[in-house]
Amino acid sequence: MTLSPSFPADFLWGVASAGHQVEGNNVNSDTWFLEHLPGTIFSEPSGDALDHYHRYREDIALIASLGFTSYRFSLEWARIEPAEGEFSTAGLNHYKRMLETCREHGLTPVVTFHHFTSPLWLLQSGGWESSRTPELFARYCDRVMAHLGDLIGVACTLNEPNLPWLLESFGIGGEAPESRGSVPMWAAAAERLGVDASTIAPFQFCSTEAAFEVKLAAHRAATAAIKARRPELLVGWTLANTDIQFADGGEERAERARRDVNVRFLEASRGDDFVGIQTYGRTVYGPDGLAPAPAGAVLTQSGEEIYPQALEATIREAHRIAGIPVMVTENGLATEDDTQRVKFLQTAVDCVASCLADGIDVRGYIAWTAFDNFEWIFGYRPKFGLIAVDRSTQERTPKESARWLGSLAREHARQQVAQPA
């Protein structure tokens, strides 16, 4: 296997996970709360998940053994600050041990400070539309950095703050505050928390202008807090950027979606150390909304077109608009046919190589996801993992896709060692 010389020596090859999706029993989080409400839109609760909270040592060792050089994972704010102003040293020490384990195995830890889930107390106090949230999030980031910041390799503040605007296109979330009381899950949440339904604003589902301003302020406040502890640490946020295209008559809808979902978040990234790009395919708009997949297209488990070429478009768009280094922090495929995943990864890596060859500064390729895990409202059915998990036994089994991408990472490392001094 020969790699293109365009991949830089310090290019990161990795896999990703998110705390709530793999750890299990994240009982103080807003997502756990929402999963168990009457009228919930979650197809099943997360439960024990993959028990990664207790099995992280073996899991990290497995990731390293496959050849990867980085592991992206998230910290759970709800475990670190389970009640407002009460920080758990035990929770912080858990993540410190995870970071130390990554370092022991030669993995660069790419750490996400917030991956969708928040403490339940934050939801009760206005969530991601409250003007207090940026300050509270920055305080949490400062406490994390004080305890374990010297072990972090790359810092991601917020994961996919733009996702709610994309989900609106699929009819998920996006309700105006005054309409939330008519949605069973939000009404049930408000009743149990003793607040008005208009104030229920979880990170994944609120797409108001207030949410945009709060998320942007939180990102900037968190960046400042992280940099205050370690000025040299690379800090950015990660965006759910899709390749937005249009069919005849869909130009106006596509342009509006491009602006709301991609462009304004990329513009807001200017001045950051990097921007994380997370792409799964393309979104095509017609005159009446989303256009169906082309006739004869091969589809994912979610019924979407398999279109790995989208990654090149979103990297180039990020480079053009944000003008800063790019890191692919998620890219993957929901399928039970791993031969499809291998082909997808091969095309995606070629897309990255093409961008690098044109002088675009791409810092890494991190696949979603390390393990078949809990995929939010869709439950455990979608299989994105490069490593299969039998949840009845919690046995892990690497797939051919893990071996293929891991061998690419290993070959890259071997070539760097072989380079003359």
> Among 23, 35, 160, 312, which one carries the catalytic annotation?
160
User: At which residue do the structure tokens 């949230």 appear?
Assistant: 133
pLDDT of 61 reads 98
pLDDT at 210 over 60: yes
Q: What percent of the chain has pLDDT over 70?
A: 98
Give the pLDDT mean for 306-331: 98
Give the pLDDT mean for 206-225: 98
Q: How far apart (Å, rounded) are the C-alpha atoms in residues 199 and 177?
A: 7
Task: Please give the radius of gyration of the chain, using alpha carbons only, rounded to the nearest integer.
Answer: 20
What domains sit in the chain, N to C, each tagged with a CATH number? 12-418 (3.20.20.80)
The least confident of 2-16, 45-59, 387-401 is 2-16
Number of other CB atoms surrounding residue 113 within 10 Å: 26
Whole-prediction pTM value? 0.97
Q: How far is CA 381 from the centre of its chain?
A: 18
Q: How far apart (Å, rounded) are the C-alpha atoms in residues 229 and 346?
A: 39
Q: How far apart (Å, rounded) are the C-alpha atoms in residues 33 and 241?
A: 28
pLDDT of 416 reads 77
Beta strands in 173-273 (DSSP E): 235-239, 243-246
The dihedral formed by the CA atoms of 141, 89, 29 and 332, expressed in degrees to the nearest 10: 60
pLDDT at 418 over 70: no
Active site residue 160: yes
pLDDT at 384 over 80: yes
Each residue's pLDDT tens digit, 27-80: 999 999 999 999 999 999 999 999 999 999 999 999 999 999 999 999 999 999
Each residue's pLDDT tens digit, 267-300: 999 999 999 999 999 999 999 999 999 999 999 9
Angle of CA points 143, 147, 150, to nearest 5°: 115
pLDDT confidence band for 3 (50 / 70 / 90): low
pLDDT confidence band for 419 (50 / 70 / 90): low
80-86 long-range contacts (CB < 8 A, ≥24 apart) are: 80/140, 80/143, 80/144, 81/119, 81/140, 81/143, 82/28, 82/119, 83/119, 83/121, 84/119, 84/121, 84/122, 84/125, 84/136
In DSSP terms, 21 is beta-bridged to none
Please provide residue 195's backbone torsions phi and psi, each rounded to the nearest 5 degrees. -130, 170
Give the pLDDT mean for 193-203: 98
Mean pLDDT of the chain: 96
Each residue's pLDDT tens digit, 143-190: 999 999 999 999 999 999 999 999 988 889 999 999 999 999 999 999
Q: How far apart (Å, rounded) are the C-alpha atoms in residues 104 and 358?
A: 35
